[in-house]
Amino acid sequence: MEINSALIDNIAHLSRLYFTDEEKKEIETDMQRMISFVEKLAEIDTSGVEPLQHMGSSINVLREDEVKGSISREEALQNAPVTDGIFFKVPKVIKK
């Protein structure tokens, strides 16, 4: 794929970005290097390789659930800037 100034201008227009001429040249070089890398990957023979569903052999490695204690309501409300003794009080954000 050929990366040129017109393609860079089109991509910049579609993404609503503005680049100087120096930035355009740098982006053009970077994009050309990325395209070359992807084209190089296409040269690799993968005919005998099965597609991966996961990057590792471990599946669903999760820890066991453990019941642990929590802080009490009084302890939680100690750090609240405003409280009514039972709940945190916050400013109203919905107007009717």
Q: What is the pLDDT of residues 72-95, one digit of tens each?
A: 888 989 989 999 989 999 988 887
Residues 6+ apart with CB under 8 A from 32: 3
Phi and psi torsions of 88, nearest 5°: -75, 140
Look at residue 57 and tell me whether its pLDDT is greater than 90. Answer: no
- Residue-level pLDDT at 12: 93
pLDDT digits (tens, 9 = 90+) for 29-47: 999 999 999 999 888 888 8
CATH architecture of residue range(s) 5-42: Orthogonal Bundle (1.10)
Distances (CA, A) of 83 to 28, 94, 95: 57, 19, 21
C-alpha span between 54 and 8 (Å, rounded): 35
